[in-house]
Amino acid sequence: MSRKLALAVAQMGPVHLADGRKKVVGRLLEMLKEAKARSADFVVFPELALTTFFPRYWMSQEEAVAKYFEKSMPNPDVQPLFDAAKAAGIGFYLGYAEIAKDGHHYNTAIIVDKSGAIAGKYRKIHLPGHSHHIESAPFQHLEKKFFEVGNLGFPVVETMGAKIGMCICNDRRWPETWRVMGLQSAELGVLGYNTPSVNIHWPEPVHLRMQSHLLSLQAAAYQNAMWVAAAGKCGAEDGFHMIGGSAIVQPSGEIAAQAVTEGDEVIFANIDLALGDTFRQHVFNFAKHRRPEHYGLITERVGAGPPLPPVTE
């Protein structure tokens, strides 16, 4: 029996250094309105949606906190989004920089349900980049300086009639992320991202940035029998370009909807959560086919090491 969720992904064009929270939230509200016009139940917004992608700039932690971190959620800047979503009866996923009550710093996302309550929170685990200044790089990627590794695991939240797994950006490239969600019976995995078009470590052709992004989403969806929805912030933020390609992927791994611009753009799919059931019952029937007794290295080793000695009988 089909179980429908009207799903919108709200891609954002660039947010410049000069753009204040009020202006940014105004753009989110516009897209929420569009999602409402299409009778959406749930909208996915990007990673660090309220500001420019500030980890590209070298600065002190204090300066970053003062300018770019949210001290509470919701706060007066973001309250209009909570209010409008509640009035419209739409839930949403939103990424932002969080300074927690205990003073720790995280790259965070929340799921807010249709009543305006925070139903789930995730703090980014696979932080890319570096913590030192790289002189030779065209820009920095300082997530390891500004954020701590998340401490909430990969949550799967039961809300709006769906089991929704949460992750952020770089997490999508790691199969462990998705399998941990899959083992909690997630039916939909959601994420926001900011993916620079230029790789600061090697001259990666730009088309590969899009290819590895979509490949990660499609493989994750298929191998874990779940829908995947990814919302990017993209285009050139003060001259620093990021890829678009926000997408909704179905459990077959096929793309159901994909953004075609590098601006604010809402994509939509009336998804059937039951579509994953066939895969869960057959090829990816975990209970029947997984062999965790042979997967020990996944949790024992962090980096690659020597091959294990051969087993002889």
Q: Which active-site residues does the annotation give?
A: 47, 124, 169
Q: Does 241 bind ligand CDV (CB under 6 A)?
A: no
Q: What residues contact 49, with CB distance under 8 A and at least 6 apart? A: 12, 15, 24, 28, 94, 95, 96, 192, 233
Q: Does 194 bind ligand CDV (CB under 6 A)?
A: yes
With contacts defined by CB under 6 A, name the span among 6-14, 166-174, 218-226, 294-302 that binds ligand CDV: 166-174
CA 186/CA 120 separation, integer angstroms: 14
Q: Is 14 or 91 the residue whose CB approaches ligand CDV more closely?
A: 14
Q: Is 140 or 250 the residue whose CB approaches ligand CDV more closely?
A: 140
Q: Is 51 or 271 the residue whose CB approaches ligand CDV more closely?
A: 51
From candidates 29, 36, 73, 128, binder to ligand CDV by CB under 6 A: 128
Q: Does 108 bind ligand CDV (CB under 6 A)?
A: no
Q: Does 173 bind ligand CDV (CB under 6 A)?
A: yes
Q: Is 146 or 284 the residue whose CB approaches ligand CDV more closely?
A: 146
From candidates 51, 108, 177, 195, binder to ligand CDV by CB under 6 A: 195
From candidates 141, 145, 163, 233, binder to ligand CDV by CB under 6 A: 141
Q: For the segment 40-69, give every residue that binds ligand CDV (CB under 6 A).
A: 47
Q: Does 169 bind ligand CDV (CB under 6 A)?
A: yes
With contacts defined by CB under 6 A, name the span among 27-35, 38-46, 153-161, 192-200 that binds ligand CDV: 192-200
Q: Footprint of ligand CDV on this chain (CB under 6 A)? A: 47, 128-129, 141, 169-170, 173, 193-195
